A and B are shown apart, each in its own frame.
Chain A
């Protein structure tokens, strides 16, 4: 009777709904990763600033996002901020905002780490040959830092993809939630449904995350020399 379990996946519009859920997961994750990366690079550059105030503010921003769980952030923004500002934001929009800000905080730390790990003589040599501030970063520091930050950045990206499953708490229907709906609907009649549904979800997450690791390997190899 094992066949019965897998049939759950092909009933009605089940597969289509799982696919829609997957698009939601992937959409939120990738938009946030892109926004987060850009903001994060800015954050990283700021973190290397000499100004104590700038350092303090950036540090505070990072710690605030690191210490407060993402679930709490989702609640604060979805229920708290929208209510306080008297605006309506869809759950999807809130998810992108929260994940982007979180990505920016963590990415900022990765960029900072990469920049600070570069030997001091790189900066000094760059200055010695008369490069401007932007030139120094554009031709000397960033190309080297990007290679060093790549593993951390990819790790953060896959973590963001997986953390998106928290968005169900603010009413967004992602791939995991669709899976749970299917399992709950059929669990009484088809107890093995969970195996098949979670099995498929595993494969779907793999399809999203594996290209990221592949990409990072490729880039690392490309920048080897």
Chain B
């Protein structure tokens, strides 16, 4: 009688113990794997026949899923070209749908080869992933209702500002304006809904996204068009993956010669931003910011 309880106890303890040992005891294998990955990341992709690229699935016009379930957008347009030039066919790309807050982890854990998800280059992120040269530049903007426009950051003191978790906007305001109360959301959908419900007086995000949103949502205006330092957006690879990083940089250079990023802009961003935005404020050609 008692034995059965004992057996069960041993069984469950064993499960827990295995879990603990597994969690701590496998540093060695990780290191050897890292070396291998660094040695032949492109070989590995070619053997697999598919490059895994992390893109957004709900951030139009950069990365979104259309009515037929297909990935579309600026980042996706470029990702397909990368696949075509690396593997010979633009269909040889596997899109992994990532979230803003877990992009770094997807790279670190080898879930993707490359992130092309509107990834802004920051010093903090540079410590965790390796960024290639940029293909886009962006600053922060603040959008607010046209009836009560916010045209300078000073107007925000003591009021509620809506931001997305894990974005540059959150970091910028937390660091530079700690006296502005932030309302944080995981999803863009939620953040824009919150602005419409007037849960905050304004919403801060990358200005490019706000241009597109304000163009279609009458009654809202991008009162602060450019805030903070000009940031760049670049493809990112896993820390230490020098081979793929070098390939991406050469690729961007080659694409620059045929003005490919401008083509991508015309195909995906122009319909969203309208004619009023100068593409030169957004596009970076050949990986070099002018």
What are the interface flags for B212-245 relative to A under an 8 Å C-beta threshold, 1 for contact and 0 otherwise? 1101110000000000000000000000000000
> Across the interface, which residues of B come within 8 angstroms of A194, CB to CB?
189, 193
Binary interface encoding of chain A residues 49-81 relative to chain B, with 1 for a CB under 8 A from any of its CBs, else 0: 101011001100100000000000001001111
**Which of the residues B4, B64, B101, B272 comes within 8 Å of A133, measured between beta carbons?**
B4
Measured CA separation A81–B217 after assembly (Å) = 44
User: Please, which residues of chain B bring their CB within 8 A of the CB of A168?
Assistant: 99
Name the residue in B5, B110, B212 with the highest tally of chain A Cβ atoms < 10 Å from its Cβ.
B5
Q: Is A180 an interface residue (CB 8 A)?
A: yes
Residue of A16, A43, A58, A84 touching B23 (CB-CB under 8 A): A84
Q: How far is the CA of A187 from the CA of B29 in the complex (A)?
A: 47
- Min CB distance B147 to A, Å, is 17
Interface membership of B105, Cβ < 8 A:
yes
Q: Are A57 and B30 in contact (CB under 8 A)?
A: no
Q: Shortest distance in angstroms between A46's beta carbon and chain B's nearest beta carbon? A: 6
Given A49-B9, A184-B58, A184-B189, A171-B22 contact (CB < 8 Å):
no
Count contacts on B: residues with CB < 8 A to the other chain: 49
> CB-CB < 8 A to B217: which residues of A?
188, 191
Q: Are B212 and A188 in contact (CB under 8 A)?
A: yes
Contact present for A185 and B30 (CB under 8 Å): no
- Asked whether, in the complex, the Cβ of B29 is within 8 Å of the Cβ of A86, the reply is yes
Cβ 8 A contact of B108, one of A43, A46, A83: A83
Q: Is B64 a contact partner of A12 (Cβ separation < 8 A)?
A: no
Q: Chain A residues near B5 (CB, 8 Å)?
A: 45-46, 49, 51, 54, 133
Cβ contact within 8 Å between B97 and A173: yes
Cβ contacts B22-36/A at 8 Å (1 or 0 each): 110011011001000
A46 and B8 in contact, given A78-B109, A86-B29 (Cβ under 8 angstroms): yes
Cβ of B69 and Cβ of A12 under 8 Å apart?
yes
Question: What is the minimal beta-carbon distance from A38 to any residue of chain B, in angstroms?
Answer: 13
Q: Which residues of A contact B67 (CB under 8 A)?
A: 11-14, 185
**Hey, which chain A residues are within 8 Å of B102, CB to CB?**
75, 79, 169-171
Interface flag for B45 (CB, 8 Å): no
Determine which residue in A12, A84, A189 has the highest number of CB atoms from chain B within 10 A of its CB, and name it.
A84
Binary contact readout B94-113 vs A (1 if CB under 8 angstroms, 0 otherwise): 00111101100110111100
Establish whether residues A83 and B12, one from each chain, have CB atoms under 8 Å apart when the complex forms.
no
Q: A81-B23, A86-B33 are in contact. Are A134 and B4 (CB under 8 A)?
A: yes
Q: A43-B12, A184-B64 are in contact. Are A84 and B26 (CB under 8 A)?
A: yes
Nearest CB on A from B167, distance (A): 15
- B41 at interface, CB cutoff 8 A: no
Q: Does B280 contact A (CB under 8 A)?
A: no
Judge if B250 is at the interface, Cβ distance under 8 Å: no
B87 within 8 A of A: no
Check B180 for interface membership: any CB of A closer than 8 A: no
CA–CA, A77 and B97, complex, Å? 18
Any chain A CB within 8 A of the CB of B255?
no
Q: Decide if A183 is an interface residue (CB 8 Å cutoff).
A: yes
Min CB–CB distance B48 → chain A (angstroms): 12
User: Closest 6 interchain pairs by CB?
Assistant: A12-B67, A133-B1, A188-B216, A184-B58, A11-B67, A79-B109
Residues of A within 8 A of B (CB): 11-14, 16-17, 42-43, 45-46, 49, 51, 53-54, 57-58, 61, 75, 78-86, 88, 132-134, 168-171, 173, 177, 180-181, 183-185, 187-189, 191, 194
Binding site for A on B (CB under 8 A): 1-2, 4-5, 8-9, 12-13, 16, 22-23, 26-27, 29-30, 33, 57-60, 64-69, 96-99, 101-102, 105-106, 108-111, 187-189, 192-193, 212-213, 215-217, 272
